[in-house]
Amino acid sequence: MSQSQHIMCFMNELKDEQGIFQAFIEILRKEENALVEGKIEAIDFLASDKSRLIEELIQFDEHRTDYLKKQGLNLEKKSIDAWLIGLIEQHSDLLEVKNLWNELLDLAKLAQQLNHSNGLMISTQLQHNQRAFAALHCAAGNVSLYGPKGQTYI
């Protein structure tokens, strides 16, 4: 396979990975709405889709990592950016590869932010539930309730 064919395959992989990231971000937004609205059943349903998409993203990451290593890159952003600039200098029609790469990085950052935000909401709700559970135990005369780090709950 020629270098241009390899690059076209790489571009197609980036496009496919973008599609998966967009689907993942949509799931994260639905999860966020379900958390805000307290729809626990929806969160459970979304979790299986979320896990499936994560598995697909892991596979794309492995393929991309293998390809970039075969190009002699050390997988640091500067190295990849320099490689992409070199490709564009050799073939001006390959600007799309750099654009796809930058869009993919932006999608990954957005997904990370949404996932972190959702995690904080889940953590807050879990703490609230633990405190409510502890209060119920105390009201029932069972005052020796401890959290996962050994702290008492009241």
CATH level 3 topology of 3-122 = Methane Monooxygenase Hydroxylase; Chain G, domain 1 (1.20.58)
For residue range 13-39, list pLDDT tens digits in order: 999 999 999 999 999 999 999 999 989
Task: List the domain boundaries for the chain.
Answer: 3-122
Q: Are 96 and 104 in contact (CB under 8 A)?
A: no
Residue 142 Ramachandran class (φ > 0 left, ψ -120 to 50 alpha, else beta): beta
Model pTM score:
0.81
For residue range 59-102, list pLDDT tens digits in order: 999 999 999 999 899 889 899 999 999 988 888 778 899 999 99
For residue 128, the model assigns a pLDDT of: 78
For residue 145, the model assigns a pLDDT of: 58
For residue 20, the model assigns a pLDDT of: 98
Between CA 129 and CA 44, with CA 120 as vertex, the angle to 5 degrees is: 65
